[in-house]
Structure 1
Amino acid sequence: MGVFNVTVVGNINHDIIVSSEGKTTDSLGGIVYNIVTLAEVGGSFIKIFPVSFIGRDEKRKFDKLIAPYPNVLITGVVEISEGTNINYLRYTNCNEREELTQFFTGEITYEMIEKFLDVDVVHFNFISGYDVALDTIVKVREKTDALIFLDVHSLVLKKETTQRHYRCVAQWKDWIKGVDIIQMNITEL
């Protein structure tokens, strides 16, 4: 069996999570969860190509976190001086949370992704909600035969100041037209 190649596209965040019991966790988040999970589960049978931005402020922490995984190739992670998105998540109970985000990164462009299309799967995970434009997903579909996985997640969240609220996505049929697998929870539906 050959190596399974996965491109993971989305934002890397600095997460500050407060549980409903008041315990605070501070860590890198966003697509970092996808990257590390795939690397752990897939081991030597998988190669992961993350495509994202990371602020200079968090780059060393990211490199240290990814260092144990030789199956993660980070040439698609672009270091920027503006900073890493900061996501504050406060859980009000086991199932509900309030979310505030400070945004620093720009949109991930097709040009950033195109070097990583000769893979088995392209996984888009909307962390900020503006991670990738619709025309970028359409172009990726045109240029690759890979299975396309879309985690809707924050695509349905408005970016209003720092407070996040659910919204209807007007062109939702266009977003899913070229996608093979869609992941969302009942609230995102």
Structure 2
Amino acid sequence: MTAAPARAPKRRLGVIGSFVWDVIHGRDVRSAPVEEWGGITYALSACDAALPDDWELVPIVKVGSDLAPQARQFLRTLRHLAPDAHPVEVPYRNNRVELRYHSDERRSEVLSGGVPGWTWAGLQPLLRNIDALYINLISGFELDLETAQLVRQHFKGPIYCDLHSLTLALEPNGLRTWRQIPEVEAWCACFDVLQVNEDEVAMLAPDPLALAAKALSHGVRTLFVTMGKRGVVYFEDAGAGRPLRTALVPAAVARVDGPGDPTGCGDVWGATYFSRAVAGDTLEVAMRRAVEAAARNVEHRGASGLAHHLRGELHAP
């Protein structure tokens, strides 16, 4: 009898970010505040929905001991979760964010909790056997610049980063406020693909084109600037002395009655794009998939069951 051929090992997508428990005000004027998982759970759900079956998902995340059981329960809902993946429990109160929406795209944010960021010594062993790395600076404190530089130096696969809350300071009362980012060029040199939104651009450069020039001259291959309902602008280094490629990709229209829920759309967009890009999609195809996923996210409340929703599946709560 001929032995069956050995099955090729699955490739592994590492995801760095933070679990956050959200309390959301103003998302629906008819209801009381909503409490649910936020933070990296949106990106994890999007990766889970977008990855093909020959990839598996490796969350590289810390969680406070007060919410560790709930975080493990959430991860168990992910179809592509690697068998050896688990959150690192730390003896601190988990991060919590109070969000107050003033419009679909404008909100204030107050952070509490104390989950610490990664040191290189703690992170290095977790990056072994990782083929691609998605980083979302949900709190802004997951990595400092020195640690990000060491990741770039030692990790040889592609690295995607959503700068997210790196551009937010933390006031004594927990309110997040905008701050200018020093050493922008050094941060850019740590990543192959960089994602920011319009407000974040202003903390990094005078305008998106100036940021693109700065980022692409320091190692970033593709810069994405998300613009909410207007879509996404991308800037790509075409290489070999060819001119910069840039285009606006319009947002898809969500099929939902009322305003929908914009929470997590940027996270879903970036995680979907990178998952499809590492799976082999062209930039244009991966972006189209990301735009569609972000629109579907608007139709869903929260991250619970989101991966099922993004795949178009029915899911009992």
TM-score for both structures, normalised by structure 1 = 0.91
CA distance 1:76–1:133, shift in 2 (3 Å): farther
Q: Percent same amino acid at aligned positions?
A: 23
Distance 2:22 2:70 in 1: 13
Aligned residue pair count = 189
- Contact (CA 8 Å) 1:57, 1:84: kept in 2 or not? yes
- Residue 82 of structure 1 and its aligned partner are, at CA, apart by 1.5
The within-5 A match list for 1:82-101 is 82-101=92-111
Aligned counterpart, 2:119: 109
Q: Distance in 1 between matches of 2:106 and 2:100?
A: 9
Q: Is the 8 A contact 2:145 2:187 kept in 1?
A: yes
* Shift in alpha-carbon separation, 1:186–1:130, aligned structure 2, 3 A: same
The 1-side partners of 2:86 and 2:119 are apart by 11
Residue of structure 2 aligned with 1:49, choices 58, 80, 103: 58
Alpha-carbon distance between aligned partners in 1 of 2:74 and 2:49, rounded to the nearest angstrom: 12
Which consecutive unaligned segments of at least 5 residues does structure 1 have?
A: none
CA distance in 2, matches of 1:170, 1:28: 31
Deviations 1:33-83 (A, max 9, x none): 111221122253321111121112211211222213353246452112221
> 2:16 maps to what in 1?
9
Q: Which has the higher strand share?
A: 1
Matches within 5 A, 1:58-73: 58-69=67-78, 71-73=80-82
Whether the aligned pair in 1 keeps the contact of 2:72 and 2:87 (CA below 8 Å) is no
Question: Is 1:131 the counterpart of 2:138 in the alignment?
Answer: no
Which string of whole-angstrom CA distances, capped at 9 and with x for unpartnered residues, describes residues 116-138 of structure 1? 33323211111111111111111
Query: Could you tell me whether the CA contact under 8 Å between 1:18 and 1:89 is conserved in 2?
Result: yes
For the pair shown, which has the larger CA radius of gyration, 1 or 2? Answer: 2
Q: Is the 8 A contact 1:10 1:132 kept in 2?
A: no
Q: Does 1:38 align with 2:50?
A: no
Q: After the TM superposition, which segments of 4 or more aligned residues of structure 1 sit over 6 Å from their partners? A: none
CA–CA distance in structure 2, aligned partners of residues 112 and 25 of structure 1: 34
CA-atom RMSD in angstroms: 1.9
CA distance, structure 2, for counterparts of residue 131 and residue 27 of structure 1: 21
Give the drift of 1:4: 3.5
Tell which has more relative contact order, 1 or 2 (C-alpha 8 A, sep 6+): 1
Task: Please state how far the C-alpha of 1:179 moved relative to its aligned partner.
Answer: 0.8
Task: Give, as a single letter, the amino acid of the residue that structure 1 aligns with 2:184.
Answer: W
Equivalent residues of 2:92, 2:113 under 8 A apart: no
8 Å CA contact 1:35–1:72 kept in 2: the answer is no
Whether the 8 Å contact between 1:76 and 1:112 is mirrored in structure 2 is no
Asked if residue 181 in structure 1 is aligned to residue 193 in structure 2, the reply is yes
Match of 2:34 among 25, 29, 39: 25
Indicate the residue corresponding to 2:213 in structure 1. none
Aligned to 1:57, the other structure's residue is in SS state coil
